[in-house]
Each structure stands twice: as C-alpha cells, then as structure tokens.
Amino acid sequence: MSQQRLIRVRPTKIELIRLKRRLSLAKRVHGIVKDRLLILTMEFLQVAKENVELRERLVEKMAEAYRALGLAQGHHGSERLDAECLVTGRDLKISSRTKNVMGVRCPMLEAEGIKRGAAERGYLLFDTSAYLDEAARLFEESLEIMVELGELKKTLDLLGFEIGRAKRVTNALEHILIPRIMASIKYLQMKFEEREREEKVRLKRLKIILSRR
Amino acid sequence: MGILTASLPKERKSLRQLLSEDRPHVICNDGTPHHFKRRELEYLANIVGSEGAGELLLPILIELAPSSSEASIALGGAELKVVERILGMEPTVREGRIILYRPQVAALRKALRTATQYSLAARAD
C-alpha cells in the first residue's frame, strides 16, 4: 500500500482537535451523500424500467397505427389520403415545467389536446372511412406516449448525471479525504507521543544529573 | 447538506387548492417550483372525493431510511385512502405512519410521480 499523503498542519493539540472534528463531519457527510446516492439509484432504476415499458408500448402502438394507415391507404388511395391529411395539420401545445427529485430538477412535459374527436380533425367525415379515423386515433395515442417517453428519457439522463456526481463525491470522501484526515490524526498522535517520550527521557537525565551533584 | 432538503416543499398545499390553480405547484426549499401533473391531481381527486381534497396535503412525503427496507408516510387526512387504492391492499399502519416496502414505494411513485416526494429519515448515529 502506498504511503498516505498527509494534510499539512502544525503539530499542535488544537490542530488535532480540529482534525478530529473535521473527520466526524466528513464521516457524517459521507453517510448522507451515500444515502442520497442510494435513493437516486433507486429512482433511476424505476425510471429506467418505466422507460423500457413505455418504449415497448410505443412500438406496439406505432405498429398498430401503421397497419391502420395501410388499410386507410388501401381504401382511399395515396393521393386522396395525402389530400385529406393536409387539412389535419396543427401546432401541438406541450408545456414544459420542472419537478424536483432529491435535488435534481427534472422536466415535466404535459401535452394538451393531442387526442381529438373525429369531427375535430378537419377532414370531411362523410367523405372518408372509419379506417382513417382509426389510424388518426392510433397516431394521436402514439404521440402522447412519445411526449411521456421524452420526459422519462431526459429524467433518466439527469438522474444518471447526478448519480455520477454523487458517486465521485462519495469516492473522494471515502478514498481520499477521510483516509488523509485519519492518517494526519495518527501522525499528530505519534508526534505527541514522541514528544512525551523525549520529555520523559529529558526529566530522567535531569534527575540523574541533579543526584550526582 | 442543503441539497437533501432542497427538494422538500417549504409549504405543502391541499389538493383542493392545487386543483384551483392554473399551474399547480409548490415552492421547494431551494426556491425552485415543483409542478404537479393535472392528470395526477384529478386521479387523486377521484380517489379522495371532495371532502378529502381539502385534507390531503401535497406532495405526499415518502420518508426513506436507506439502512432499512421500509419507508413510511405520515398519516394525515386522506393518505391512507390513496395508498390503499393505488396498492390495491390495506397497508400496515404503525405509530401514526403508513409503512411501505420498497416494491410498494415503486408502485406508488409510478402512479404519482409528481404528487409524491422522497425525504430522508435522520440517521441514528
């Protein structure tokens, strides 16, 4: 094992007391950061699991939607379908806010009015078939899942970043700061013991000299 | 140290109050807003009804002790009803707190991602 680097302090009792206080604080902080890391990891795993589930749901929904679109295309023909779709275009209103997860500010996306009734979509109902309604409904549902997935993905990124940061802090405390303080305390204690021994020898020597006179 | 309490709300609001807001949110200790999903609030309103909406304070704080496998929620106005409905079972109540196990916490967080928040239980040492 390599020799532990020491904190440069003057070898005085007050410094020893200071170091002991610093050590107890470092240990407490280490415990708290580790607890936070545990909770963040728990949350990360939950979000990751949800992310996978949602992705699978999206893939299924998109497959269904494209199947329905294929049927609508077969029924109406591509050109007619393109013409009908032109009038259904619109801007989506997605509001982005934040939520706080153990000190990590994560996005919270809320889409408003993605799902519409058949009459609100803009194409002529009497001129189109139920195949088109079904395809539009499925695509709207897919879009809702996409927004939710986007939120989860970003949350996952932010949590991952924070976990990395918390891990670095924990490791720095565990492997650098705490051992360094402990080594410094040990060094100071040894120094004081050495001084005590020197003092004892000096007194003995003095006693012998005095007794000889 | 402050980062641990940063995510906790300065003041919790009742479900009724949040439902009446245009952008339902509470202010956290670090001064940032924590927003609620309207969908979750409406779901909670469905569970607790109009009387419970005034009693249920949000966000619901899930107190975790990393050294233990249990988490807990302080028993307030309508928390028990909410937990019961989401978990589909009657949870353990001990010393005025609802006791939850890790999988139950996960289920609760999944259903109420913005309406619940974690808080860290103080260590004994």
Closest CB to B32 among A46, A100, A102 = A100
Closest CB to A39 among B23, B30, B64 = B64
Which chain B residues contact residue A50 at CB under 8 A? Answer: 110
Q: Which residue does chain B place closest to A28, by CA atoms?
A: B125
B27 contact A CB<8A: no
pLDDT in tens, A93-129: 888 888 888 888 889 888 877 777 767 777 766 677 7
Distances (CA, A) of A35 to A29, A155, B1, B103: 10, 20, 12, 18
C-beta separation of A27 from A178 below 8 A: yes
| A·B CB contacts under 8 A | 65
Structure-model confidence comparison of residues A57 and A131, the more confident one:
A57
What is the overall mean pLDDT for chain A?
87
pLDDT in tens, B64-116: 877 777 888 888 768 888 888 998 888 888 888 888 888 888 889 889 989 99
Domain segments of chain B: what residues?
Answer: 2-120
pLDDT in tens, A39-59: 899 899 999 999 999 999 999
Structure-model confidence comparison of residues A168 and B106, the more confident one:
A168
Q: Quote the pLDDT of residue B2.
A: 67
Phi/psi for A114 (5° steps) reads: -70, -45
- Tokens for A148, please give them: 């939710």
C-beta separation of A6 from A184 below 8 A: yes
Closest CB to B28 among A32, A50, A100 = A100
DSSP string, A93-145: EEEEEEEEETTEEEEEEEEES-S--GGGSSS-TTTS-HHHHHHHHHHHHHHHH
Task: Label residue B33 left, alpha or beta by phi (over 0 means left) and psi (-120 to 50 means alpha).
Answer: beta
Give me the domains of chain A, ranges plus CATH numbers: 27-174 (1.10.287.3240)
Exposed / middle / buried, residue B44 (Cβ in 10 Å: 0-12, 13-18, 19+)? buried
Q: What is the C-alpha separation between A131 and A114, in angstroms, rounded?
A: 19
Evaluate if residue A6 carries a pLDDT over 80: no
B31 contact A CB<8A: no
Provide the ipTM. 0.84
Question: Mean pLDDT throughout A67-76?
Answer: 87
Which chain B residues contact residue A96 at CB under 8 A? Answer: none
Q: Cβ contacts of residue A68 below 8 Å, gap of 6+?
A: A131, A134, A135, A138
Q: Quote the pLDDT of residue A196.
A: 94
